[in-house]
Chain A
Amino acid sequence: MTRSMEGGKDWRRRWATVVSLCLWSASGLSGRADAQDDAAANRAPASEVVYQVTGLFNAARERDLKEVFSRISEVRLVRVDVAQAEATLALDAAQAFPGAKPEQVIERIDQLVRGASRYTFGIKARRELPLDKLQRIEIAVVGLDCRACELAVYEMVYRLPGVEMATASFPERRLVVYVRPGESDRASIEKLLRERGVELLMPPGP
């Protein structure tokens, strides 16, 4: 699935601001203590928000993610976009996280998801740059057909500075890393992988 990225950055910021204000308002933390009961009585309908999902490194992980959300009562998973590593969540922040400030909501969701997934998934704000603005580095890797090994190699790279997203699939012998241009490069990623014991399938020499 592709989306139009035209003006995407500004649009997303505006959208996020609106959603946050709605959530904040609905959470009943606008400074009026006595408003909490009113807010509970007139609870706003759940809002849908799109977040980036860490740990969603290939299509097989979609099922895992759905299973994780099946154990979380506070937030509902609406849809998953594996290609973007994003998920749309529906939640009523005031009900789900009473007392949380707007900027804390994403942290609370992240904690829930991490706890329910034994720290294999996480939630963070959407990327500021669309995929096509990122540098795509594809590295041929060899490894066991094992989901945990894929998680391992994914985790080796996705926290690196400049890395916005990554996918990993040992059956396809492919690790794809999306980096902000100029903030990382293939050589440093390959070096790190080798150091961590990952076998790289190098293209035949000239």
Chain B
Amino acid sequence: MKVETSWPRVGRRSRNWFAALVCGWLAVSAGGRANAELEEAHVRPFLERHCAACHAGDEAAAGLDLQRLDWKLDDRESFQRWVKVFDRVSLGQMPPKDAPQPPVGESEAWTRALRGSLLVAERRRLGAGPRTGLRRLTRAEYENTIRDLFDMPGIALQGELPADGSAHGFDKNSEALDVSHVNLAKYLESADRILDMAIATRPVAPAVKTQRISLANPPGFVAHVLLHGDGVLLKNKKPDPEFPPAGEQMHLDQGAHERMGSFHNGASVGLFRHEDEAFHPYFNEFVTIYPGRYRIKTSLWSFQWDRGQVLPSRGVEAARLSIVQLTGDGRGGGHPSTVLAYFDAPSMNEQVHELTTWLNPRETIGFNAASLVSGHTRGKQRAMGYVGPGIACDWLDVEGPLHETWPPTSHRVLFGDLPLREFKPEEHPGVRPPHHVPARQQMFMGKNTPDREEGVWTVLSEQPLEDADRLLASFLPRLFRRPVGVEVRRQYAALVERGLESGECFETAMRRAYRAALCAPDFLYRVEAAGERAGEVDDDALAARLSYFLWNSGPDETLRIKAASGELRNGKALRGEAERLLRDPKSQRFVVDFLGQWLRLRQIAANDPDKKLYPEFSPYLQDSMAAETQAYFRELLERDLDARHLVRSDFAMLNERLAVHYGIPGVSGSQIRRVAVPAGSARGPFLTQAALLKITANGTTTSPVPRGAFVMARLLGQPPEPPPPNVPAVEPDVRGATTIREQLQKHRELAVCASCHSRIDPPGFALEAFDVIGGLRTRYRSIGVGDPAPRGAIDPMIAISFRLGPPVDSSGELPSGEKFGDVLELQRLLAADARPLLRNVAQQLTIYSTGRDVAFSDREMLEQVLSATERQGGGLRTLLLELIDSRLFRMH
């Protein structure tokens, strides 16, 4: 076949144009090579003069041999290395302070030239195409989008989907979001689950029932421990005379007690231990049958137990309610999937707490006497020998399912106002009825039962094809986040028609189309079309970008309307929408998701601290740590506080448990609130928050290296180079023969290690003042050797076996030569210049919100955002709004 056969169709004019293009390309290419040589000739001499002494040969510092660094700016890897060289010189980090410095102006001229070359090369590489690639929805985005679209705010989907990858620190990048056959299979399953839950199959809403449950409910594991004395039954704030506390003798035979009604006699349950691997208190006489919203109420108080006497407690204790998805037949318990809340249990005064939450089938409510210690009280005297705090739960009420309308919103999204009718086969000859699985109690321990259901109820349509087209015209744009053309809609309508022709009823035929749409690329991928403004996304994509940024979900109707009207092109309107989204509780998803990745908060539970070294650690403390970081970020946003607060603050976001952990007095209760930090305390900012200190430790020991690297990368925006291959990690010497500081000193004597470690280690040294759970320390804890440890703020109910080892030295010296004696002084040094901190937050927000890395050529726009922010005080809320209103955010 001759190539020429296609030419006539192109036409003579086009052929000429093509020839010109080829010639031009050749000319540019040749010119490009000449330019490159010219550029290299300008760049290399500076490096030879000022850098080659260290960065040449096999022993080059930091493993960077500049003589072997190719001038191949079109190559991505080579380009990135040149950017790093540029950064180090332009920031004044190179040549080092103790080396001969270039004459005044030479560095500036050199970086200016290099910057020009880098910009040209990058723009050439990036071309005119879209910067943000086609992105699949992340698991969280997928789940949130469905939750919001169908008003099913608790449907659990992401746990069934494969984990997302991560690129440039976030899972929102197209480079990280691949698709496999597993994804596709799971999307199909999810689509069915969504439709099963969304479609109403009965003429009236399930009856609203209120069920009162005792924590002692026999299937809930508590009854068993009551027999043995880890808890007691209480009436009128005294031991229940019908169920005396276990003492030298324990109660016999749980079954006999169940049959005698010991656990259903209206008594309150007092517990002496928190949840652990062997003890999971559940209220599983209620197990959800109908998905929906439920109102949960519980009555809690605390007391001091003294060998049979109920006395006022030491203060406000805290209990946790969580949603538990029961697995298997439920006997083995389940997964505490969602923490609902921590609640206060005041001394001797019951407090009723209430919340409304979505529950899925097979879910129940879990309880944890969170502020109490773990383990059990069973000595010879059991409860009658125990003296210590207890938390009492009088009852828990579950009321629901609560439906404001019927059919529910989820159903109306799919079927509008079409009526639900009983399907009578004789009235529909040749039509197959819909397949509905009757609601049933799936767990034997659940005492709540389904309503009686009669007949098959379904959506009926007199004009199925017209209705299908109308429903799809409403649904598809909402699902696909943009207007949907007639042609596309017809494809889905054709599926409905095919279903009807094959004898399916209207509901089943519509399900075909909805299922296909829920698995369509238009939904699963964020398609960002080019807008009218050159290089920017269109209005619908901008609305979606904003919504997925601040809600981690698709745009709501208000946002879609504003996109459709073109209003979002107005910066003021866009900012207004951003403000509205931030005010909405759904913006907490942004806080959680962004911090989960930027500050690696998702990894807070990645390791369990050693129980002998850190016996005071508990899940309550861990949850409080994460809550502190999230509340602090929220506070920075709401009060528009500046970026210095990343490293230094005069307030902290604390509850009682954290305040005790930090040694800050005067905080009572489980709720996180703003607390002024006493003078001389380093607490408050991200830098010294227990969550980040735990994330950067391994559960047993700390090392300045990972902590220092974390500070450099996540807070200062200067990620260190990865360690060279074949260099073993520096591990703390658990024998105590050498300190980590001594080990690192030896490490830094190697030239290949010194340059990076001189930057990484100093913040890590300062953070040595904090142990693996973020507690302040002046000496390392050890097992076996050392001095006896004072109890300090550790709960008196907790046994201590660790000892105190060598003293902590938290002093150091920054690469700039500035020295610090402790973490407070480091904070002062880091906070002196807010711009790098602000720049880092801006970079992180940009990557998170746009789904791409910040390119070298983006820097100018980023600096404009920073300058605009600083002119208004440098607050983080201002930064976020300036970013949203910038070309950087709108860029295609």
Taking Cβ atoms with an 8 Å cutoff, the residues of A that contact B are: 117-120, 142-149, 151-153, 155, 196-199
- The answer, among B252, B258, B260, B262, for a CB contact under 8 Å with A198, is B252
19 pairs from A and B in contact (CB 8 Å cutoff): A120-B256, A120-B260, A142-B248, A143-B252, A144-B246, A144-B249, A146-B242, A146-B257, A147-B260, A148-B252, A148-B256, A148-B259, A149-B257, A151-B260, A152-B257, A155-B256, A196-B252, A197-B250, A198-B252
Q: Across the interface, which residues of A come within 8 angstroms of B554, CB to CB?
A: none
Report the minimum CB–CB distance from B805 to chain A (whole Å).
45
User: Is the Cβ of B259 less than 8 Å from the Cβ of A146?
Assistant: no
Which A residues lie within 8 Å of B262 (CB)? Answer: 146, 148
The answer to whether B261 and A149 touch across the interface, beta carbons within 8 angstroms, is: no
What chain B residues lie within 8 Å of A147 (beta carbons)?
Answer: 242, 260
- Decide: B252 and A197 in contact? CB cutoff 8 A: yes
A118 to B251, CA, bound (A): 19
Complex CA–CA separation, A146 to B258 (angstroms)? 13
Residues from chain A with a CB closer than 8 A to the CB of B242 are 146-147
Pair A199/B249 contact, Cβ less than 8 Å: yes
Question: With A118-B259, A151-B256 given, is the CB distance from A145 to B244 under 8 Å?
Answer: yes
Assuming the contacts A144-B246, A144-B247, A147-B242, asked whether A118 and B261 have C-beta atoms less than 8 A apart, the reply is: yes
What are the 6 A-B residue pairs with the smallest beta carbon separation, nearest first? A152-B253, A152-B256, A148-B260, A152-B252, A148-B257, A118-B259
Q: How far does the alpha carbon of A198 sit from the alpha carbon of B257 in the complex, in Å? A: 15
Instruction: Tell me if B243 is interfacial: C-beta within 8 Å of chain A.
Output: yes
Q: Is the CB of A119 within 8 A of B252?
A: no
Which B residues, 256 to 307, have Cβ-Cβ distances below 8 Å to chain A?
256-262
B597 CB, min distance to chain A CBs, angstroms:
53
Most A C-beta atoms less than 10 A away, residue of B248, B251, B252, B258: B252
Residues of B within 8 A of A143 (CB): 249, 252
Q: How far is the CB of A22 from chain B (nearest CB, A)?
A: 34
Type the 1/0 row for B115-136, where 1 means its CB is closer than 8 Å to any CB of A. 0000000000000000000000
Complex interface: chain A residues within 8 A of B260 (CB): 118, 120, 147-148, 151
Instruction: Select one of B244, B248, B261 contacting A146, CB under 8 A.
Output: B244
Query: Could you tell me if B251 and A151 are in contact, using CB atoms closer than 8 angstroms?
Result: no
Interchain nearest-CB distance for A67 vs B (Å): 11
Q: Is A149 touching B259 in the complex (CB atoms < 8 A)?
A: no
Q: How far is the CB of A170 from chain B (nearest CB, A)?
A: 8
Question: Taking each of B246, B247, B256, B262, which has the highest tally of chain A beta carbons within 10 Å of its own beta carbon?
Answer: B256
- Shortest Cβ distance from A199 into B: residue: B249
Residues of A within 8 A of B251 (CB): 144, 146, 148-149
A119-B259 contact given A146-B242, A147-B242, CB 8 Å threshold: yes
| Minimum distance in angstroms from B380 CB to a CB of chain A | 12
Question: Which of chain B's residues has its CB closest to A145's CB?
Answer: B244
18 additional contacts (CB under 8 A) given A148-B253, A197-B250: A117-B259, A118-B258, A120-B256, A120-B259, A144-B247, A144-B249, A145-B244, A146-B243, A146-B244, A146-B251, A147-B260, A148-B259, A148-B260, A148-B262, A151-B260, A152-B252, A196-B252, A199-B249
C-alpha spacing A119/B253, complex, angstroms: 14
- Min C-beta distance of B723 to chain A, whole Å: 59
- The answer to whether A144 and B244 have CB atoms under 8 Å apart is yes
| Min CB gap B94→A, angstroms | 76
Closest to A117 in B: B259
A-contact bits for B341-370, CB 8 A (1 contact / 0 none): 000000000000000000000000000000
Chain A residue with the shortest CB-CB distance to B256: A152
- Docked-complex contact A153 and B252, CB < 8 angstroms: yes
Residues on A with beta carbons closer than 8 Å to the beta carbon of B244: 144-146
B265 nearest CB across to chain A (Å): 10
B233 to chain A, nearest CB (A): 10
How many angstroms from the CA of A118 to the CA of B243 in the assembled complex?
18
User: Complex formed: what's the CA distance from A146 to B447 in Å?
Assistant: 26
Q: Which residues of A contact B250 (CB under 8 A)?
A: 144, 197
Residue of A with least CB distance to B261: A118
| Nearest CB of A to B527, in Å | 62
Q: How far is the CA of A142 from the CA of B248 in the complex (A)?
A: 10
Chain A neighbourhood of B256, CB < 8 A: 120, 148-149, 151-152, 155
- In the complex, what distance in Å separates the CA atom of A170 from the CA atom of B257? 15
How far, in angstroms, from A169 to B791 measured CA to CA in the complex?
47
Closest residue of B by beta carbon distance from A154? B256
Over the window 685-718 of chain B, the binary record of Cβ atoms lying under 8 Å from chain A Cβ atoms (1 yes, 0 no) is 0000000000000000000000000000000000
Closest partner residue, chain A, to B384 (CB atom): A144
Q: Which partner residue on chain A sits nearest B245 by CB separation?
A: A144
Which A residues lie within 8 Å of B248 (CB)? 142
In the bound assembly, the distance between CA atoms of A77 and B635 in angstroms comes to 70
Q: How many angstroms from the CA of A147 to the CA of B252 in the assembled complex?
A: 10
| Chain A residue at minimal CB-CB distance from B259 | A118
B266 → chain A closest CB, angstroms: 15
Residues of A within 8 A of B252 (CB): 143, 148-149, 152-153, 196-198
Which residue of chain B has its CB nearest to the CB of A141?
B249
Point out the residues of chain A lying under 8 angstroms from B258, CB to CB. 118
Instruction: Give complex CA distance A142, B224 in Å.
Output: 20
CA distance A153 to B248 in the complex (A): 17
Complex contacts, A146 vs chain B, CB 8 Å: 242-244, 251, 257, 262
Q: How many Å lie between the Cα of A197 and that of B227 in the bound state? A: 12
Measured between C-beta atoms, what is the minimum distance from B774 to chain A in Å? 44
Residue on A nearest B257 in the bound complex, by CB: A148
Taking a contact as CB atoms under 8 Å apart, the answer to whether B259 and A151 are in contact is yes
Which B-chain residue is minimally distant from A142 (CB atoms)?
Answer: B249
Q: With a CB–CB cut-off of 8 A, which chain B residues contact A198? A: 252
Q: Which residues of B contact A117 (CB under 8 A)?
A: 259
A141 to nearest B CB, angstroms?
Answer: 9
By a CB distance below 8 angstroms, the chain B residues around A155 are 253, 256
Task: Tell me the chain B residues, 302-361 only, with Cβ under 8 Å from chain A.
Answer: none
Nearest Cβ distance between residue B231 and chain A, in whole angstroms?
15
Q: How far does the alpha carbon of A146 sit from the alpha carbon of B249 in the complex, in Å?
A: 11
Tell me the smallest distance from the CB of A70 to a CB of chain B, in Å: 15
Which residues on B sit within 8 Å (CB–CB) of A145?
A: 244
Contacts of B253 in A (CB 8 A): 148-149, 151-152, 155, 196
Q: How far is the CA of A143 from the CA of B260 in the complex (A)?
A: 17
Report A74 CB to chain B, min CB distance, Å: 22
A43 to B246, CA, bound (A): 53
Residue of B nearest to A120 (CB): B259
B625 to chain A, nearest CB (A): 42
Distance of B616 from chain A, by nearest CB (Å)? 34
Q: Which residues of B contact A118 (CB under 8 A)?
A: 258-261
Residue among A119, A152, A153, A196 with the highest chain B CB neighbour number at 10 A: A152
**In the bound complex, CA of A151 to CA of B249 (Å):** 15
- Nearest-CB distance from A91 to chain B (Å)? 25
CB neighbours of A142 from chain B (8 A) = 248-249
- Distance A142 CA – B250 CA, assembled complex (angstroms): 10
- State the CA gap A138–B243 with chains docked (Å): 25
Nearest CB to that of A119 among chain B residues? B259
Complex CA–CA separation, A196 to B256 (angstroms)? 13
A155 to B252, CA, bound (A): 11
Q: Which residues of B contact A120 (CB under 8 A)?
A: 256, 259-260
CB distance from A149 to the nearest CB of B (A): 5
Minimum C-beta distance from A71 to chain B (A): 13
- Could you say which residues of chain B place their CB within 8 Å of the CB of A153? 252
Q: Most chain-B Cβ atoms within 10 A of its Cβ — which of A151, A153, A197?
A: A151
A57 to chain B, nearest CB (A): 11
Taking CB atoms, residues of chain A closer than 8 Å to B261 are: 118
The residues of A that contact B243 with a CB separation of less than 8 Å are 146, 148
CA distance A182 to B809 in the complex (A): 81
Chain B residues with Cβ under 8 A from A197's Cβ? Answer: 250, 252
Q: Please measure, in the bound complex, the distance between the C-alpha atom of A146 and the C-alpha atom of B383, giving whole angstroms.
A: 15
Q: A153–B251 Cα gap in the complex (Å)?
A: 10
- Kindly provide the distance from the CB of A166 to the nearest chain B CB, expressed in whole angstroms: 14
B residues in contact with A151, CB < 8 Å? 253, 256, 259-260
What is the bound-complex CA distance between A103 and B80, given in angstroms? 94
| Nearest chain A CB to B711 CB, angstrom units | 57
Q: How far is the CA of A49 from the CA of B428 in the complex (A)?
A: 61
Distance from A100 Cβ to chain B, minimum over Cβ atoms (Å): 26
